[in-house]
Amino acid sequence: MTNTTTTPQYPMARDARCPFDPAPALHDQQEQAPLTKVCIWNGTTHWLVTRYEEQRALLADPRVSADVFRDGFPLAAPIVGNRRPGFIVQDDPEHARLRRMVTAPFAVKRIQAMRPAIQKITDDLIDDLLAGPNPADLVEAFALPVPSLVICDLLGVPYTDHEFFQQNSKTLIRLSVPPEERAAAAQNVRGYLTDLLAQKARRPGDDLLSMLVGRVEAGELTPDDAAGVGLLLLIAGHETTANMIALGTLALLQNPEQLALLRGSDDPKLVASAVEELLRYLSITHNGRRRVALEDIDIAGETIRAGEGIICPNELGNRDPRAFAAPDDLDLTRDARHHVAFGFGVHQCLGQPLARLELQVVYSTLYRRIPTLRLATTVDAVPFKNDGVVYGVYELPVAW
C-alpha cells in the first residue's frame, strides 16, 4: 500500500486544552466510519479501526497476527536487530505456550492475597511523602515507587537497583528517543536480568524469576527467552500503573466532584468501579493495538485483505458513544467494566488483576490520607507524555 495525499497521518496530536481526550482528528475518523485508512511514519497505509465493537471483533479474531516481523505489519517505530521483544509480538501456539508459563502468579486470587502488602507499601510511601518537601513531584515520590516496589517483589528483583531499570525503562518506551538508543536500553535490562537469573539458579527464591529458572532447567524455555519474559513483566509492571496513578490523580483533581465522591466513600464496589472508569477514561496505552491480517477479513462492509495492517486505538474505542453513554464524561459510578483499556483478544494484559488491585488500594488511600492534595502548578504547565508508548505525565507537582 502507498501513501496518498488525502490519507491522514497516524498518530494524531491531542488538543493541549483537553489532555485526557483522544486526538480530535481521531474522533473525526470515528464519526466518519468504523474503518478508515491512515498513513504512518514510514509512508505505509493501514486500516484504522475507530469503533468499540469492530476493535473487539478484530483483536479477538484468530485471523490477525501480532508478529511485528510479518510483511505489512504497521510498526510503531523501526525495529532494530532481529530480537523479538517477548510473547506480546508472537502468535499462538508459541505465544500461548510462553504466556501460560507466567500466568499462575497473576491469577486473581493469588493477586488478591497481595492486598495487605500493597496497602503497606502505599501507606509507607504516603508517610514519606508527608514527611518530605511540600510541594513534591507525585510521580517520583509515589506514583512510580508503588508499582515498582510491587513488581520487584513479585519478580524477585532487588528494589535497590531501581534507578538503573527505571532509567532504562523510561528510555525504552519513549518514542522520541532514537531506535538504536531504545534497543540499547532494552539490552541493558536484558543483560541485568540474565545475570540475576543466573544468581537465582544458584540460590532460588519464592519469586517469578526463580520460577522461570525452573522452566529453563526443565528445558521448556531458553535462558534468552527467560530474560525476555522478565524484561516484559518488569517494564509493563511499573510503567503502566505508574501512569494510571499520576494521570488518574490529575484527572480527579480536575473533576473535584468525582474526587469528593471517591474520597467520601468506603464502599469497595465504588472504588472498583472508579478504577474501571479511570482505566476507560484515560486509556493510557494510546499507541494503538497493532495487527496484520493473515487472511481476508470481511467486517463493517469492508474487506481487510491478507497482509494489510490494522491499528486499533483503544483510547478511541473507549470513547465510542455506541458502547458508553456520554463517553467524554468521567463518571465513577458508571458500569465501565467492558472497556478495552487492557486490550482485547489473546494478547489482553496479563497483569490486569495486579494493576486493578494496585489502583484500588492507591485511589482509596491517597486522597483520604491527604484530603488537601492539590496541583502545585497549572494544567497547561504539566509535561504530558505525548511521545510515550504509554500516555501519562512526566512530572506532577502537588502540594497539600
Partner 1 sequence: MRIVVDQDRCVASGQCVMAAEEVFDQRDEDGVAVLLTPQPADDQLGDVQQAITVCPARAIWLEPDSVA
Chain residues in the site for partner 1 (CB under 8 A): 59-60, 96, 99-101, 103-104, 106-109, 111, 337-338, 342-350, 352-353, 356
Query: Residue 324's CB: how many other CB atoms inside 10 A?
Result: 22
Q: For residue 273, what are the CA distances in angstroms to 30, 229, 262?
A: 26, 31, 10
Nearest approach in angstroms of CB 150 to partner 1 is 17
Nearest approach in angstroms of CB 324 to partner 1 is 14
Nearest approach in angstroms of CB 279 to partner 1 is 12
In the chain, how long is the greatest CA-to-CA distance? 60
Q: Which is nearer to partner 1, 97 or 120 (CB)?
A: 97
Measured in degrees and rounded to the nearest 5, phi and psi for residue 116 equal -60, -40
Q: Return the HEC string of 216-267.
A: HHCCCCCHHHHHHHHHHHHHHHHHHHHHHHHHHHHHHHHCHHHHHHHHCCCC
Nearest approach in angstroms of CB 55 to partner 1 is 12
Nearest approach in angstroms of CB 44 to partner 1 is 28
Q: Which is nearer to partner 1, 85 or 353 (CB)?
A: 353
Q: Which is nearer to partner 1, 39 or 323 (CB)?
A: 323
Measured in degrees and rounded to the nearest 5, phi and psi for residue 262 equal -70, -45
Nearest approach in angstroms of CB 29 to partner 1 is 24
Q: Residue 112 has which C-alpha cell?
A: 488478591
Q: Which is nearer to partner 1, 192 or 342 (CB)?
A: 342
Q: Which is nearer to partner 1, 129 or 361 (CB)?
A: 361
Q: Which is nearer to partner 1, 16 or 108 (CB)?
A: 108
Amino acid of residue 181:
E
Classify 48 as helix, strand or coil: strand
Classify 107 as helix, strand or coil: coil
Contact assessment for residue 293 and residue 63, using Cβ atoms and an 8 Å cutoff: yes
Sheet holding 136-137, edge to edge: 136-137, 397-399, 374-375
Q: Residue 96 has which C-alpha cell?
A: 500461548
Nearest approach in angstroms of CB 87 to partner 1 is 11
Q: 248: which DSSP letter?
A: H
Q: Residue 39 has which C-alpha cell?
A: 498513513
Q: Which is nearer to partner 1, 297 or 349 (CB)?
A: 349
